[in-house]
Amino acid sequence: MATLEIQVPDIGDFDEVSVIELMVKVGDTVKADQSLITVESDKASMEIPSSAAGVVKELKVKLGDKVKQGSVVLVLEAASAATAPVSEPKQAPAPVAPAQTAPVSVATSAPAAAAAASGPVDVRVPDIGDFKDVAVIELMVKVGDTVKVDQSLITVESDKASMEIPSSAAGVLKELKVKVGDKVNIGDLLAVLEGTAGAVAAQPASAAPAPVAGAAHVAAPVVTATVAAAPAHNPTTAPVGLPHASPSVRKFARELGVPLEELKGTGTKGRITQDDVQAFTKAVMSGAAQTKAQAAKAPASSGANGGSDGAALGLIPWPKVDFAKFGPIERKELGRIKKISGANLLRNAIMIPAVTNHDDCDITDLEAFRVSTNLENEKAAKSGNSASAVKVTMLAFLIKACVSALKKFPEFNSSLDGDALVYKNYWHIGFAADTPNGLMVPVLKDADKKGVMQISQEMGELAKKAREGKLSPAEMSGATFTISSLGGIGGRYFTPIINAPEVAILGVCKSQMEPVWDGKAFQPRLMLPLSLTWDHRVIDGAAAARFNAYLGQILGDFRRVLL
């Protein structure tokens, strides 16, 4: 098999350009016309294609090298049939714009020059080489703008190249005849200018069809955001707002749906490389990164406040108030736990169609039992039996009672998974704990297998760990249902937020003596306020009312737990 040297073809006006990207490596099989390297001048970048098919044997350039027409890019072991002569770079298959290509900056609308003096001037797509039906990807001017001769008006892109189309005249832009996404060809009307006298392009060099030399000049293979082919280009026509990436990288990104403008390029001068696109895609797929569109769709994940403006929900912006205008202020960042729990609470509050049922239950006898048990335990502890020193809490009874209710109403112990409901045959109960760092939810595992005493003891330990910030992730995960008790603090009822992916949560407030009618007279009874919040996608109102009623019956007479 023959080996070939692949050289830099005629790249027009570029004398010495830097190699900024190597697109193949030794051992790669390349096709004819496949881009090998990207080179860049101060005004344009372009991909240099292979003039033959084969396997890369040796790379003759490295990043940062300066190359020009005739420089050897690499040595190829040519695939016989696909080999093209390479000795003369100009004859190498021109990657995108073959040798007969005319200067891209040339407005073919020669009449434009004649129409210079005043009145409307049509600006048309000049000869852009072999390109057919190239897509408009960017409008660089808008109606009302004053445009100079050779100022770039739009950017077009084929699958291999992108280029800016300059104006053949100066004037005020009256009408833009294309929009992003349109396909254009040579001669298509781009814009109408209100010509400024004497300001129309009359440069013969750029207004006339290119001579052969000119053709070679514009055979710039693949030009990104090019002005390279504009003999009298405006040097400031660098791409506006377009990510710095080669056409093939942009095509690659388009295929994957990667928003290039959100990427930070790691290539020379911040250029976005194929590796950058791949890394971004991997990060998004693994959940390590989000596109802006994703972030907008999932406001809960963007911080405790779920993003600053709620725009994704169609909400008006969050009010911005200069509080200092009204009095002295102090600003303190939210703690880590508040930030994490805030984001979770917001998601759960927004995403779950939650309903809360409030109820009261009579815990007079239970509280009497609890108090007497604790007295007995205290006595036993004093007599040296330290195992009995555990204080039995109302919350421990509530946990036990809830397990009983969850077993009777299993959907309360389930989770939604798409269109399916996952019923859990274990009963791990989370309980909200107020800590100096914020709300934490330790999980009491296998509450169904434990007695009230053991639950009280474990809860005490977990609550202590929570306050000391020593809970392990395992001690905070796996809950199937949560209880939030404000009983030790006060209040009547509240609407707790479900701890997704659980489907219900019980809020408990402070019990108090109330007059309760027994059919004959009012009796003083200790009433415990319960607030059950439930996910209406899983649970119906009737089931919630039954759950509360059942819970009340158990707490009213704890012997029912045994039934």
- The residues, any chain, with a CB within 8 Å of residue 488's CB and separated by 6 or more, are 510
Three-state secondary structure call for residue 197: strand
Provide the Cα torsion 408, 410, 411, 413; round to 10°. 120
DSSP 399: H
3-state DSSP assignment of residue 402: helix
Q: Compute the least distance from the CB of residue 463 to ligand CAO, in Å.
A: 4
Q: Check binding of 393 to ligand CAO (CB under 6 A).
A: yes
Cα–Cα distance measured from residue 314 to residue 461, given in angstroms and rounded to the nearest whole number: 45
Alpha-carbon gap, residue 309 to 315, rounded angstroms = 7
- Determine if 491 is a binding residue for ligand CAO (CB under 6 A): no
What distance in Å separates the CA atoms of residue 184 and residue 373, rounded to the nearest whole number?
87
- State the nearest-atom distance from the C-beta of 64 to ligand CAO, in Å: 58
The minimum distance between CB 432 and ligand CAO, in angstroms, equals 4
Q: Which stretch binds ligand CAO (CB under 6 A): 63-71, 211-219, 426-434, 536-544?
A: 426-434
Q: Which residues, in sequence order, are CB contacts of 505 under 8 Å at separation 6+?
A: 481, 482, 483, 484, 496, 497, 498, 499, 532, 533
Write the binding mask 429 to 458 for ligand CAO: x where contact by CB under 6 A, - elsewhere: --xxxx----x-------------------
Name the segment binding ligand CAO (CB under 6 A); options: 25-33, 163-171, 481-489, 534-542: 481-489
Binding positions for ligand CAO, 181-210, rule CB under 6 A: none
Which of 438, 507, 413, 431 is closest to 475 using CA atoms? 431
Query: 536 catalytic, yes or no?
Result: yes
- Catalytic position from the list 217, 233, 244, 536: 536
Name the residue with the smallest CB distance to ligand CAO: 487
Residue 274 exposed, middle or buried by CB count within 10 Å (0-12, 13-18, 19+): middle
Q: Which is closer to ligand CAO, CB of 265 or CB of 496?
A: 496
Hunting for tokens 């210079």 — which residue is that?
A: 116
Applying CB under 6 A, the site for ligand CAO has a residue count of 19
Stretch that binds ligand CAO, among 123-131, 154-162, 232-240, 504-512 (CB under 6 A): 504-512
484 binds ligand CAO (CB under 6 A): yes
**Cα–Cα dist 454/92, whole Å:** 84
- Rounded to whole angstroms, the Cα distance separating 537 from 411 reads 11
Which C-beta is closer to ligand CAO: that of 163 or that of 498? 498
Please identify which residue in 120, 235, 488, 515 interacts with ligand CAO, judged by CB under 6 A: 488
Interface with ligand CAO, residue 156, by CB under 6 A: no
Closer to ligand CAO by Cβ: residue 257 or 488: 488
The token duo for 216 is: 């070679």
Question: Does residue 397 touch ligand CAO according to CB under 6 A?
Answer: no
Question: Does the footprint of ligand CAO cover residue 394 (CB under 6 A)?
Answer: yes
Cβ of 46: how many Cβ atoms within 10 Å? 31
Active site residues: 536
Write out the residues near ligand CAO by the rule CB under 6 A. Answer: 393-395, 431-434, 439, 463, 484-488, 496, 508, 510-511, 528
